[in-house]
Amino acid sequence: MDTVPDNLDQRRMAKEVVLREGIDLSTEELEQQLAIIPEVPREVEPFDPDQLDVGEDELSDDEKEKMRVVLRKYRKFFIKSGNGLPPPAKGAVCDIDVGEAKPLAERARRIRPELLKKLFDLLRGLLDFGLITFSNSPWASPIVLVLKKGGKDIRLCIDYRGINELQELMRSPMPTLDGMLANFHAMQWFLSLDNASGFWVVRATKRARKVSAFICALGHFEWTRMAQGLKNAPMIYQRMITNALFGFVDMPPGVADEDADGEPVDMFALGFKCDLSQLPPPANRTSFADDISDGADSWDGTVELTDRILARLTYFGVSISALKSKFSKIATDFLGHVVSRRGLEARPRSLDAVLAAPFPKCLCDMQSFLGSLNFYSQFIENYSILASCLYEISDEELRLGLVSPAAVRAFADLKAAYSSTPLLRHADPEREFHVLLYTTTWAISATVCQDYDGVLHPVRFCGRTLKGGEPRYEEWAKEALALLRAVKVCYYELSNMQLVVYSRHGLLKWILADKHGKADHLPWAAILSPWTICVEQVVELDERWALPIRLMDILHPPDASTLADMDVYKPNKAKDVQVSQRQAALPQFGPDERATVVAFDGAIKARRRWAAMAL
């Protein structure tokens, strides 16, 4: 190989580019790592706001007209197709900082000849809307075509895994699902908004355009707006919508959206404070990416709320998808759930696929099944107790068919529970909370309820498997763990509330007298100290619930009969567990007693190699 001459000026040479060969992708990687590009219509059709989904049949025409007057004010911000290209949002910019990394360029992956025409149509639509342009970037991420159901139409995806590995993750917060589904108890009318085209309203910097370039059999292209599939794209978009709903920063007066060089201006980098006098009051709730759901306790209240939210969104240039938005309904779909006046219901999209699935033959399929259920585990009573035997199965056991009867039974019962999830009541701070505790030698569970006309209705199911030495704890200690789990999962709802806890195994005695008996239990007492807890000893007649308060038919009482029925789900690891006996309590002394305490501390440093003893 020839050596490089010493007098060669390498500054005149082309920049170094890292070429990578394509990597095969699994189905899970397609879902988690790729940017899935929606279809782009050829034209954006004008939309009449009078066609929006407003109210219910029970409302008068005059009441509906109040809402339509508000919606007509924002006519130009409604887009009929959720994927139509809206104008860019004010001051929102996507940049991709990869540091000093060398450009990554992967080769275009092969595409079946019969799909080239469909790919051309997709790319032509993106070009017509100005979402992409031809590129000469040294960066190139490959595309992957995914066939839709039916095998005729395609969906365009981009593999950004290489670029995502080079970026630092933004620390901008993303909302949690539990937080988004809380605090609907006082609402009678619900509003659901879907922002049009999502990430495409965010401008891309020149650097981001180069780095996010993609390659395929028909050419090399780069994005003019923020691409989907980038690591920080959700945080950038969430920050933009949160700022629009609450108002922290704004573009300074007289500053254009682009500088003299055509670089988009980032209002978050400028930090100019928003003039709140120009905007209505902030929203009541934040969004979950491009989904906004809120409500009010009256029709006039929801009309005012709609006007307030739309005024803030449109001020920052955020457009609304007309066909996906609902205005003042008694129930609305939100993040895979149905939110209504009565409560919260699960709306799983994969229900038919889960119900039709046979018992998994490999670990990947089992993880996929449990993942589908885990998303809705708050709707499945005693989920942790039922599912524990499925979590312990290895890939080898599944492939060889070495599955216990408990696992087969749990699989069937979990599918049945998944298909008939109950309605969960909204947590009402004006009502007392009741907690039902369930304990086994392998898992604990708790059901948080509230009383409606003398009947306990579920608010949340929660639980976990026991770990370490916990399976050997006494039953009252496991009940304490179940209660701790309930206050941890439902802390937002239960904070500063009085709790009625139903116990079978002496939890009341521990709370009243013995919580200082063992040092390991002191943290439990500290965690529970903010709550006023009323413990009801479970009364049983023939091993069945015999307390005066009734449970809904869908709930199983925490009595001996229910806990005995759960033995069919016992995992193998729990079959030889021996429950330890109560240890002697630490001595306690009265005010008039004297005692000598001897403590040994081997960590005290001395000049000589002696330990230390203190009296």
Over residues 562-582, the pLDDT tens digits come to 888 999 999 988 776 666 655
Q: How many CB atoms lie within 10 A of CB 285?
A: 18
Side-chain-side CA neighbours of residue 592 (13 Å)? 0
How far, in Å, CA of 298 to CA of 330, rounded? 11
DSSP, residue by residue, 491-540: HHHHTT-EEEEEESSSHHHIIIIITTSSGGGHHHHHHHTTSEEEEEEPPE
Answer whether 223's CB lies under 8 Å from 209's CB.
yes
How far, in Å, CA of 436 to CA of 501, rounded? 6
What's the pLDDT at 378? 95
What's the pLDDT at 446? 97
Q: What is the mean pLDDT of the chain?
A: 84
Nearest CA to 122 out of 155, 86, 82, 80 is that of 155
What's the pLDDT at 149? 64
Residue 277, Ramachandran bin (φ over 0: left; ψ between -120 and 50: alpha; else beta):
alpha
Answer whether 215's CB lies under 8 Å from 132's CB.
no
What's the token pair of residue 57?
Answer: 């049949």
Q: Is residue 613 very low, low, confident or very high in pLDDT (cuts 50, 70, 90)?
A: very low
3-class SS of residue 307: helix
Query: Cα dist. 196→5, 82, 153, 200, 289 in Å?
Result: 57, 5, 23, 9, 11
How far, in Å, CA of 228 to CA of 111, rounded? 21
3-class SS of residue 320: strand
What's the pLDDT at 188? 92
DSSP, residue by residue, 424-479: BPPP-TTS-EEEEEEE-SSEEEEEEEEEETTEEEEEEEEEEE--TTGGGS-HHHHH
How far, in Å, CA of 325 to CA of 197, rounded? 13
* ∠ Cα 436 441 446 (to 5°): 20
Q: To 10 degrees, the CA torsion angle through 245, 246, 249, 251?
A: 40
Phi, then psi, of 110 in degrees rounded to 5: -65, 145
**Given the structure tokens 């509003």, which residue do they identify?**
191
Query: Cα dist. 97→171, 210, 229, 385 in Å?
Result: 14, 11, 15, 46
pLDDT at 411 over 80: yes
Rounded average pLDDT over 120-131: 89
> Do strands 320-321 and 78-79 pair parallel, antiparallel, or not at all (unpaired)?
parallel
**Given the structure tokens 């309930």, which residue do they identify?**
486
Rounded average pLDDT over 168-182: 90
What's the token pair of residue 71?
Answer: 């919606």
DSSP, residue by residue, 208-227: HHHHT-EEETTEEEEESBPP
Rounded average pLDDT over 215-226: 94
DSSP, residue by residue, 123-164: HHHHHHTTSEEE---S-BEEEEEEEPTTSSSEEEEEE-HHHH
What letter represents residue 152's amino acid?
K
pLDDT at 125 over 80: yes
Side-chain-side CA neighbours of residue 420 (13 Å)? 7
Residues 6+ apart with CB under 8 A from 11: none
Look up the pTM and report it: 0.82
pLDDT at 608 over 90: no
Chain centre distance of CA 466:
24
Side-chain-side CA neighbours of residue 320 (13 Å)? 29
What's the pLDDT at 603? 52
Phi, then psi, of 341 in degrees rounded to 5: -65, -35
How far, in Å, CA of 363 to CA of 393, rounded? 8
Answer whether 85's CB lies under 8 Å from 131's CB.
yes
How far, in Å, CA of 256 to CA of 253, rounded? 9
What letter represents residue 51's amino acid?
Q
Residue 271, Ramachandran bin (φ over 0: left; ψ between -120 and 50: alpha; else beta):
left
What's the token pair of residue 451?
Answer: 């009383």
More confident residue, 290 or 9: 290
Q: Is residue 524 very low, low, confident or very high in pLDDT (cuts 50, 70, 90)?
A: confident
Q: How many CB atoms lie within 10 A of CB 172?
A: 15
How far, in Å, CA of 23 to CA of 106, rounded? 10
What's the token pair of residue 22?
Answer: 């394509």
Over residues 482-519, the pLDDT tens digits come to 999 999 999 999 998 999 999 888 776 666 665 555 66
pLDDT at 179 over 80: yes
More confident residue, 551 or 579: 551
Chain centre distance of CA 457:
25
**What share of residues in the chain are helix, strand, coil (percent, to 5)?**
35, 20, 45
pLDDT at 14 over 90: no
pLDDT > 90 fraction of the chain, expressed in percent and rounded: 53
**Given the structure tokens 């309605």, which residue do they identify?**
423
Mean pLDDT lowest for which of 14-18, 54-58, 281-285?
14-18
Domains and CATH numbers, the chain: 18-340 (3.30.70.270), 351-419 (no CATH), 433-574 (3.10.20.370)
pLDDT at 35 over 60: no
What's the pLDDT at 82? 47
What's the pLDDT at 599? 58
pLDDT at 70 over 50: yes
Query: Cα dist. 528→99, 137, 266, 531, 575 in Å?
Result: 48, 59, 46, 6, 31
* ∠ Cα 335 338 344 (to 5°): 105
Answer whether 271's CB lies under 8 Å from 207's CB.
no
Residue 294 is given by DSSP the state: E
Question: 133-145 burial, b for 16+ CB within 10 Å, e for fewer?
Answer: eebebbbbbbbbb
